[in-house]
Chain A
Amino acid sequence: MTSVIGQLGAWAVLRVHEMGRMLLFVLSACAWLARPPFRFHQIMKQLHFIGYRSTFVVVLTAGFTGMVLALQGYYSLRKFGSEGLLGAAVALSMIRELGPVLAALMVTARAGSAMTAEIGIMRITEQIDALDTMAINPLQYLISPKLVAGVLGVPLLVAIFDVVGIYGGSLVGVDLLGVSQGAYWNSVESAVEWKDVYGGLLKSISFGLIVSWVCCYKGFYTRQSAEGLGSATTEAVVLSSVLILVGDYFLTSVLL
């Protein structure tokens, strides 16, 4: 019994230590942003990697999400004779919920895992130590630009996701299922309010931070082996995804 309690205690101490280290990691990386030299080129490079290069997968996901949402929504709304509200149903679902969550999950899968692997390989091959020996802070050079790119890139991708998703819904609802085009777009316009857009934006900023934070952290503290790198990448994707979904629930509770 005592040993079980001891093991539980050791596990809890380890988790608290890990959380403290994660918090210090992100705070230090943010603090380094305020100190020269300012690395705009690095930030742009990361924005290109996280944002631009994720565009295709985000557009593809958004299109099909909007389409399936219209399909499901149409058959549910038809039962109540409310097909005219299809635009509102698609737009609100996309802007408030699916856009931020799905775009962030796609960024985690495409860019987040790559970030962990890249930083992890740099750790294993002593490239991060090399930065240290050159008196260049690795947090400032490697991590801070990725955090900024995550916070800026994900909201932009979410905006694209929302627009493409609503158009995907229109493609199925209006062009295939025969909902009036005027009714679809009119219900979008009348249902969507600024607070919906604001809520989605706030979520996407939070998710962008979560993805870049968790993925960079897991890569930075990779254990020195190929196995360690593999498990770091898996942990980064799983933890980011779980935190996005858990965070989504709590943010929704606050924003509603």
Chain B
Amino acid sequence: MIRLVGVEKKFADQPVLQGVDLTIPVGKLTTIIGGSGSGKSVLLKHIIGLLQPDRGEVWVDDVEISRLSGTRLNDVRKRFAMLFQGAALFDSLSVFENVAFPLREKLRMKGPEVGQRVEEKLKEVGLSGMGHKFPAELSGGMRKRAGLARALVMEPEIILFDEPTTGLDPLLAKSIHDLIVAMQRRFGFTAIMVSHEIPEIFGISDWVAMLRKGKIVLMATAAEFQRTTDPDIQEFISVGGTVALPGPLAG
């Protein structure tokens, strides 16, 4: 379980996180929403130790990671993967090499086993036969899929998604959402997603948390979240409308 306790972060005297308390349920898809510049991506980067809080604690199970560095932090990070906003594929490597990268560099895996695992993941994300292409030759949606394949290839326990559908048209955004949900349901990893896609996220998330003024103002199941009576939250989520929820997702 991931737990943030009183996390505070300032950039050049500008407070971004002002005491975030958040508990992420294991094996569920939790989406963090909030206005632009509210600190959602900053929050995500604290969870994986890319940023260190000025105050507060970040717990991954029984390890407090906010003051860790070097090998000890890397040991925790081995349990994570992250899909970045722009996919963050390595430009100089082909799609195949990008997906194979963690296997070769972290597991020191060689030979046909690498090819087998990479092709398997590329097939799962719908990029079968695209391994030879370079990131610059891919469309936005394909880049995200390749990024997802790279995130999945190490079979992590926790995957972070930083606005995975930004810059995509509604159809592509839906296909990426569907893919994330399908993978999460299939492999059972803990997924934490930052997104602006309202109301779509209510249809795919198990839990939704809202970040406002540097704090989590509400965390609830997707169904409960939409029923909130808080006028500010209602105003924020009503712009995009609401969606009907299938029963099992609400729990």
Contacts and interface: CB of A to CB of B under 8 A. Distances in A.
B50 interface: yes
Interface residues of A, number: 15
Contacts of A122: 90-91
Interface string A137-152: 1000100000000000
Interface residues of B, number: 25
Given A37-B108, A130-B82, A135 B88 contact: no
Contacts of A132: 48-50, 77
A125 B86 CA distance: 7
B106 A135 contact: yes
A130 B154 CA distance: 14
Nearest to A137: B74
A133 interface: yes
B86 A134 contact: no
A126 B86 CA distance: 8
Contacts of B50: 129, 132-133
Interface string B104-135: 01101000000000000000000000000000
Contacts, number: 53
B161 interface: no
B74 A135 contact: yes
B88 A126 contact: yes
B78 to A, nearest CB: 5
Interface string A166-193: 0000000000000000000000000000
Contacts of B75: 135
B19 interface: no
A126 B105 contact: no
A129 B84 contact: yes
Contacts of A134: 77, 81, 101-102, 105-106, 154
A130 B105 contact: no
Nearest to A35: B71
A47 B95 CA distance: 25
Given A130-B82, A132-B50, A133-B50, A141 B105 contact: yes
A126 B85 contact: yes
Nearest to B79: A135
B225 interface: no
Nearest to B92: A118
B80 interface: yes
A132 B108 CA distance: 17
A7 interface: no
A136 B71 CA distance: 10
Contacts of A130: 82, 84, 88, 90
A130 B81 CA distance: 9
Nearest to B41: A126
A26 interface: no
Given A127-B91, A129-B50, A135 B85 contact: no
A202 B154 CA distance: 45
B105 A125 contact: no
A58 interface: no
Contacts of B106: 134-136
B4 to A, nearest CB: 18
A214 interface: no
5 contacts: A127-B91, A130-B84, A133-B48, A133-B77, A134-B105
Interface of A: 37, 121-122, 125-127, 129-130, 132-137, 141
Given A125-B91, A135-B74, 6 more contacts: A125-B86, A130-B88, A133-B77, A133-B80, A133-B82, A135-B78
Nearest first, the 8 closest Cβ-Cβ pairs linking A and B are A135-B74, A130-B88, A135-B77, A126-B88, A133-B82, A126-B84, A134-B102, A127-B88
